[in-house]
Structure 1
Amino acid sequence: MEKTKIAKLVLNAENCESFAIPMEKVTELRVDDVVSNISADQTGEIQRSWACRRFVLQVSRAFLHQLATEAFHEDGECMMLDERLSQMPDIVDVDLIDTDHHTVTFRLPWRDGEYGETNVAMTTSIDQDRDQLCLVVE
């Protein structure tokens, strides 16, 4: 029996924008210290959610630079995803979607920045030698 694999991940931003990244473009993915939360509503229906304390994603910057976002530079030019991730730290959760189309969503650590819609727990860096963007949330 073949094991299910992650097909893609989706980064979900505070402004409700979502960015799908196929796993073949991902060099590194780590989700550390995952906790499961369980709650129940008035009818007794159980709700499960997940959160992590550290998230690391390294992905092809050339690929990210092909994806337009809803954000704009001051000159009115559309911001590409690599630029948006570097300049707008607001990713709130991540969906992992497997080859059977099952989705697991987990919240990322969040600490309000100067404005409530920015997350100071999120940092990015560029590996120039490998043309990779590294996103860390902790």
Structure 2
Amino acid sequence: MGNFSIAFEGYWREKKKRGIPAKSGVYCVYTCIYSGKKQTCSLQKLIYIGASENVRDCLEDHVKQADWESHIDTGEELCFSFAPMDAETLERCTAALIFKHKPPENTEYVRDFPFDTTSLTLSGTAGFLSKSFTV
């Protein structure tokens, strides 16, 4: 059994995604409604969970961009959250997040979890994600 803590750091709107750290980590893709007046993003739905050894570069020209955009309703835009993570635990923790939450644009790890029992504790900007769970 493995116990892991994941600390999500902020939300980045589509046009500000170059601000996401160029680090190894897990990321979530959401639709949101941005309020310029309040400078806030109101999350609408979680659509994808992914991982990369360089999240900023991964999101620059992602192969699933058009698929993500198909979930945008009137007045919405994409936004992203990011949690830094060591490359050694990245696949296992991302698989656990996907298996638990089953976002509509994920296909791998939705039906099976090929790792040992894994417990995650999440903190920070982890909208629509369970804060603590075991798979």
Higher relative contact order structure (alpha carbons within 8 Å, sequence separation ≥ 6): 2
Instruction: Report the TM range for the smaller structure's normalisation.
Output: under 0.3
Q: More strand by proportion, 1 or 2?
A: 1
TM-score calculated relative to the size of structure 2: 0.28
